[in-house]
Structure 1
Amino acid sequence: MTNTIEKTDVELKTDVLSELKYEPSIKVTDIGVLVKDGTVTLNGYATTYNEKREAVRAVKRVAGVKAIADDIEVKLPSSMHRTDGDIATAAANQIASCTIIPTKTITPTVREGWITLDGQVEWWYQKNAAGNVVHYLSGVKGVSNNISIKPKLTTMAVETAIQSAFKRSALFDASKIQVETSQNEVVLSGKVRNYSELEEAERAAWAAPGVFSVDNNLTLESFGFDT
């Protein structure tokens, strides 16, 4: 018989705060945590966009989190303030120096410290790399990755590649995840144990060549133990 164990909001808040304290890149005293019905709201401020990003990623690792509202504001120290022109130049240079990103395929635009990436690449990992190389730049307050992916493989080939990747993964149970594809658009359904597994399944789906859309309908299963 399986008994379901649900964390109370107080227990979940305690776990979230502990995970934030465990992450060395986060100044937890500047971040507030509110929990209601399993939804975690983060507020307060971070001194860099990377710190804000890591705070959200830390919460995703906590079992029992059903949803996350990210209200953290990036407040840059005066020493880190840069003009949009300086940030745009730095972003363009970072993208150009990344060897896995095809040259002259991505254009960064900066407004009030927020970078928007536009362009087209063949693989998801190239799009992901472009976002990763600019998110930690000094002066950046946020990143919108609008890069599109140009499909080259058939729908069946995409589905086969994703299912094979799931079966190889040691991070989640592939038998609990269903994959459907249509014109290089992927729909994931089924159950995973936590946000980290949900995110990893989506990452594996995006990593398949030719995928340009992933609709992640995975849900979190209840936690329990056998008696």
Structure 2
Amino acid sequence: MKTDTQLRDDVQAELNWDPAVKACDVGVIVKDGVVTLTGHLASHAEKYAVELAVQRVHGVKALAIEMTVKLPFDNQRTDADIAMAAERALEWNVLVPNGKIHPMVTEGWLTLNGEVEWDYQRSAADGAVRNLMGVTGVSNLVKVTPKLSPADVEKQIHDALSRQADREASRLSITVNGSQVTLRGTVHSWAERDAVQGAAWATPGVSVVVNDLLVDA
């Protein structure tokens, strides 16, 4: 098991390695495997890249995000400009159902509302607007309301995990309450945690996933 000092050094090395990140703008504090990130970044896209980079580091048990986005003057846009750009980005993304998601912008913070049938559509909408110039943050409030209601959601998730990775399937507890799935247990990395959550979201009939999985690094 890594010490906090080793983990901090690994996180900083990963940030320095990632070309999408300006590592000198990010402060890293580690205590008992929990990583706290601080600093002011120039875009929401960079903030998201920092979060992904830290999740790739083995040994990170949890993340506390205390970073803020402070746009350079030449990157600032009016809310109307951002809203128009977001509307076009959603319209041009083939994975986003036409007319189902509606962007709203307040002081650079972009909120997505609407309903879709699948989580991949919800995620695609987030990805379509995340990197737009002038965006300081994104709240994805899009609801997943599937038309399908399979009789055995739990079995479908277990079957999916068994096809993808037997280890995850054997270590998990999956509870289904209506269209809500709760995941409990331990996994070995953030990547495995995301994979299990993705398998749950990909199951027809699932509209809410509560991910209580722990990373046992």
- Identify the TM-score tier after normalising by the shorter chain: over 0.9
How far did 1:191 drift?
A: 1.1
How far did 1:167 drift?
A: 1.7
CA deviations 1:45-97 (Å, max 9, x no partner) are 22111110011111111122121111111121222110000000000111111
193-202 or 156-165, which moves further after superposition? 156-165
Give the Cα separation in 1 of the matches to 2:39 and 2:166.
32
- What's 2:57 paired with? 62
Instruction: Name the SS for the 1:71 alignment partner.
Output: strand
1:41 aligned onto 2:36: yes
Query: Which amino acid counterpart does residue 70 of structure 2 have in structure 1?
Result: K
Give the count of matched residue pairs.
217
> TM-score, normalised to structure 1's length?
0.90
In structure 2, runs of 5+ residues without a counterpart are none
More RCO (CA 8 Å, sep 6+): 1
In structure 1, runs of 5+ residues without a counterpart are 1-5
- What's 1:212 paired with? 207
How far did 1:165 drift?
A: 2.1
CA spacing shift, 1:70–1:172, aligned 2, 3 Å = farther
Give the Cα separation in 1 of the matches to 2:73 and 2:168.
47
Instruction: Name the SS for the 2:48 alignment partner.
Output: helix
> TM-score, normalised to structure 2's length?
0.94
- What's 2:96 paired with? 101
- What's 2:116 paired with? 121
How far did 1:173 drift?
A: 3.0
The 5 Å alignment of 1:9-24 reads 9-24=4-19
How far did 1:172 drift?
A: 5.8
Which residue of the other structure, out of 134, 140, 154, is the alignment partner of 1:159?
154
Q: Does structure 2 retain, via aligned residues, the 8 Å contact 1:149–1:210?
A: no
149-158 or 34-43, which moves further after superposition? 149-158
Question: What is the root-mean-square deviation of aligned Cα atoms in Å?
Answer: 1.6
The runs of at least 4 aligned residues of structure 1 exceeding 6 Å deviation read: none
Q: Does structure 1 retain, via aligned residues, the 8 Å contact 2:116–2:146?
A: no
How far did 1:16 drift?
A: 0.8
